[in-house]
Amino acid sequence: MNSRRDFLQQLAATAIALPLLPLAGWAHGSNSRDMPHGPVLRVAIMGLGGYGTMVAEAMRACVKAKLTGVISGTPAKIKDWQSRFSIPEKNCYNYENFDQIKDNKDIDVVYITTPNALHHDQVIRVAAAGKHVICEKPMALNAREGMEMVAACKKANVQLLVGYRMHFEPKTLEIIRMRKSGDFGKILFFQGLCGFRIGDPNQWRLNKQLAGGGSLMDIGIYAINGSRYMVGEEPVWVTAQETKTDLVKFKEGVDETIQFQLGFPGGAVASCLSTYNMNNLDRFFLNGEKGFAELQPSTGYGPIKGRTNKGELTHPHVTHQTVQMEEMAGIILEGKQPVVPVNGEEGVKDLKIIDAIYQAVKTGGKVDLSL
């Protein structure tokens, strides 16, 4: 998978040459997003790091969603974003006072892109302020936290969505359509390989208190989630094994490499790998009695490349976060139902599997799942 660092190195070029959206009016130029297109989802981003920047830049091409606010603990970043994205002072908050967004009619939803360990409390606070929430994955550190977040949002009558950008990716959706149509026949096997060699040993992703784990929480979740939407069933058991070669970089509780296997009620099995110590791993493979599908790269920032037994998939690439935010605006504002769910309940299912994988690593046995 392309790392976040790889993306950020390309960010300036991407911002200059955002791909055109297949949406009416956009071809008339950058001012067209100010023309009437119906309701617009007004978004505040919480956490102005690498991924928050990626989402913000991608939203420049959105018609249904607009960046209107920021939440950060770094005043210098807030000032920079105010200038870059024309955000008024009244829509800028820090981590101490962002509860005040409840009185701000310029903000409909908060997109949380902070470290994993912060998601739980921040989602609950945003919900209490009466705003919808989009939370990056993994949604929380464990399933218990995730269920508390879902309950808090239901109590506040706000929507909780998770940043599953691949659920809107055209080649991925085409494979799901073909599987549902029976093109591959009975599904027998899925393989998901996700990994890259991580850099700075001092980054938060290698801090158990902030990340909740290691590669599994960051990159392995793509294989976990992908196995479910590619096979089209919920797994009923898991086994897992951990390999660690660098005890300095990957301290106690921070996994370097985990291999895990999933069993599905229809008889299909999945074999997956998550690692922070190998490059060139970003591949999904689905095998059925009548055909196959392959994505490689499968979850990187794009373009995704895919083929099936019927030939190459040729859908054009559009920046994933642009499509995601357009579709999420449709979900929140128009009640649209995505092909693959992106709600909090979907996030909890992945967290239950993550909990089970860590349990299987620890016990060396098979762990039953009930999603």
Q: Locate tokens 């158990």: which residue? A: 208
Asked if the model's pLDDT at residue 29 lies above 70, the reply is no
Domain assignment of residue 323, yes or no: no
The last residue of one of the domains, among 108, 130, 164, is: 164
Last residue of a domain, one of 119, 139, 164: 164
Could you tell me the pLDDT band of residue 19, with boundaries at 50, 70 and 90? very low
What was the pLDDT predicted at 38?
84
Q: Report the candidate in 338, 335, 356 with the shortest Cα–Cα distance to residue 346.
A: 338
- Is residue 153 within 8 A of residue 127, CB to CB? The reply is yes
d(CA 222, CA 350): 9
Quote the pTM value.
Answer: 0.91
In-domain check, residue 322: no
Number of domains in the chain: 2
- Domain residues for the domain of 121 are 4-164
For residue range 231-284, what is the model confidence (pLDDT) as tens digits? 999 999 999 999 999 999 999 999 999 999 999 999 999 999 999 999 999 999
pLDDT digits (tens, 9 = 90+) for 279-330: 999 999 999 999 999 999 999 998 999 999 999 999 999 999 999 999 999 9
Are both 16 and 151 inside the same structural domain?
yes
Residues 62-90 have a mean pLDDT of 98
Question: How many of the other CB atoms lie within 10 Å of CB of 188?
Answer: 17
Structure letter (DSSP) for residue 343: B
**Burial annotation 58-74 (CB, 10 A radius, 16+ → b, else e):** bbebbbbbbbbbbbbee
- 328 in a domain, yes or no? no
Tens digit of each residue's pLDDT (9 = 90 or more) over 181-220: 999 999 999 999 999 999 999 999 999 999 999 999 999 9
The yes-or-no verdict on residue 63 having pLDDT over 70 is yes
- Check whether 4 has a pLDDT greater than 70: no
Residue 306: give its domain's CATH number. 3.30.360.10
Question: To 5 degrees, how large is the angle CA 45–CA 56–CA 313?
Answer: 120
**157 and 171 co-located in one domain:** no
Considering the domain architecture, whether residues 288 and 356 belong to the same structural domain is answered as: yes
Say if 246 falls within a structural domain.
yes
Q: Are residues 92 and 215 in the same domain?
A: no
Q: Which residues of 38-53 are buried (b: 16+ CB within 10 A; e: fewer)?
A: eebbbbbbbbbbebbb
Higher pLDDT, 8 or 284: 284
pLDDT tens digits for range 131-164: 999 999 999 999 999 999 999 999 999 999 999 9
Q: Name residue 239's amino acid.
A: T
- 219 lies in the same domain as 275: yes
- CATH number, position 84: 3.40.50.720
Question: Are residues 301 and 352 both part of a single domain?
Answer: yes
Q: Which among 118, 134, 164 is the end of a domain?
A: 164
Residue 326 domain flag: no
Angle at 200 between CA 196 and CA 206, to 5 degrees: 75
In this prediction, residues 333-344 reach a mean pLDDT of 98
pLDDT (0 to 100) of residue 6: 46
pLDDT at 37: 60
HSE, CB side, 13 Å, CA atoms: give it for residue 65: 32
Asked if 184 and 155 touch (Cβ cutoff 8 Å), the reply is: no
Token pair, residue 5, equals 């660092």
- The answer to whether residues 112 and 247 belong to one domain is no
